[in-house]
Amino acid sequence: MAYSRTEILARWKRACAYCNGVATHLDHVQPLAKGGEDVEANIVPACAPCNLSKGAKTLAEWAETFGPEPPPF
């Protein structure tokens, strides 16, 4: 089923799902490269810094990159 970028961003009020910053990207929570599906249920809005730093990592893999300090965004 197709999804609408505009509708997803509007539903989240253009807030990044990860840091609440201004979302300009859409992110696959479970990356396509790791078996995630290209469906609306697997997509959240993300700001550029969050999306680019997460890349094809799972949430658990991405969290491991933060170290003891929270991410700077």
- Domain-embedded: residue 71: no
Closest by Cα among 22, 25, 57 to 43: 25
- Residue 34 CB contacts under 8 Å (≥ 6 apart), including other chains: 56, 58
Coil, strand, or helix at residue 46? strand
Q: What is the percent of the chain with per-residue pLDDT over 70, rounded to a whole number?
A: 90
- Domain-embedded: residue 34: yes
Which tens digits make up the pLDDT trace of 30-55? 999 999 999 999 999 999 999 999 99
pTM value?
A: 0.86
- Domain-embedded: residue 70: no
Q: What is the CATH number of the domain that holds 22?
A: 1.10.30.50
- Domain-embedded: residue 73: no
Apex 55 CA angle, 32 and 29, nearest 5: 50
